[in-house]
Structures are given as structure tokens and as C-alpha cells.
Amino acid sequence: MSRLLLPLQQHPRTADQPADSLLHALKRLPRRVQQVFLLNRLDQLPFAEIAARLGLPLLAIERHLNQALQTTREPGDALASVAIQWYVRLQSPEVTASERIDFRRWLDAAPEHLHAFHQTELRWRSLQAPARLLGQDGWYRQGRAALSLGGCSVTIALGLAALAALGLWA
């Protein structure tokens, strides 16, 4: 998502959300969504490369990025929600010419649409600093197995504890 579709002014963050609330919103996301978001935002990997690296379909990458951006918008802002969906979809390698035409029609239908899309681009830019904090130790660059290992080790430990409690492990 490194290329932008409209010219933008340089703003460090949107006025409606400071960086700490954006970081908090990102931390509440599922770990896989965070990973996809960070690979795209920090490492600027395209959808296809993220999908190949994580063994996920392109649609899942799109859905995860959409989820990440949706958590940063104001609740109840339906226009922002639509703008975010367009923003993410337009970055997908699976976007069709017909969808691009539909987007252009949506954008031209009302000045509010252009403003909402512009705000989405500003919001995307404002996520750079919180993303750096969220991914500062590089955890997100680990593959699928490394992320899953944490849950597996907890399950194994609980299983061994249960066996020990029943006296079957000694």
C-alpha cells in the first residue's frame, strides 16, 4: 500500500486520533492481523508476497488489512468504513478494471466520498509510528510456525500438567 492514489499534504497523524490510541487499537487486533498489517506497513510487502510468506490466500490478506484499518476509524462512521474498504481493495493484485471504474464513480458521486478517502490515506500514514512501536522487536517477520508455537507450547504444558496430576507422568 505504499503508493497513494491522491496527492496528500504531509501530516504526521490525523487530528482525530493521537498515536497512542492508534497503537492501543492495533494491539487489540488478533496476532495474525497484526502480522499482516506490519509486513505491509513496515516492510512494504505487497499482498502476494505476504500471502506466499504466510501461506494465506490473497483474500485473507485483504481482509486482515481491512480489519486493521477499520479499527482506527471512529465507531459509526459508515462513510469511513466504505472508504477503507476501497482503499484496501485498490491495493490488491486481484482488483479488476470494473472495480476501479466503480471506485471512480463512488469517488465522484459526492464530495464527502473524496474527503473520506483522503482521510483514509492520512489515517494510513498516521499508522507508521504506532506500527514501528508494535513491531519494534521484529516478531512479525517470523513465519506461521513461529507464531503458532506459542499456543502449542501452552497446550503441551497443560497436557503434561494434567498427566502429572493424574499420576500418569512420572
**How far is it, in rounded angstroms, from Cα 66 to Cα 90?**
11
pLDDT at 38: 97
All residues at 6 or more sequence positions from 70 whose CB lies less than 8 Å from its CB, including other chains: 81, 84
Looking at the structure, do residues 68 and 78 belong to the same domain, yes or no? Answer: yes
All residues at 6 or more sequence positions from 59 whose CB lies less than 8 Å from its CB, including other chains: 94
CB atoms within 10 A of CB 18: 13
Looking at the structure, do residues 120 and 142 belong to the same domain, yes or no? Answer: no
Residues of the chain with confidence (pLDDT) below 50 = 1-16, 145-151
Is 6 a member of any domain?
A: no
Looking at the structure, do residues 75 and 26 belong to the same domain, yes or no? Answer: yes
Is 109 a member of any domain?
A: yes
Looking at the structure, do residues 104 and 147 belong to the same domain, yes or no? Answer: no
Domain range for 77 is: 19-136
Looking at the structure, do residues 88 and 63 belong to the same domain, yes or no? Answer: yes
pLDDT at 168: 61
Cell numbers representing residue 43 in the block: 516492510
Is 12 a member of any domain?
A: no
pLDDT at 150: 46
Nearest to 14 by CA among 136, 115, 133: 115
pLDDT at 29: 96
Is 66 a member of any domain?
A: yes
Looking at the structure, do residues 148 and 105 belong to the same domain, yes or no? Answer: no
pLDDT at 100: 98
Looking at the structure, do residues 69 and 37 belong to the same domain, yes or no? Answer: yes
Is 61 a member of any domain?
A: yes
pLDDT at 170: 53
pLDDT at 19: 73
Looking at the structure, do residues 89 and 107 belong to the same domain, yes or no? Answer: yes
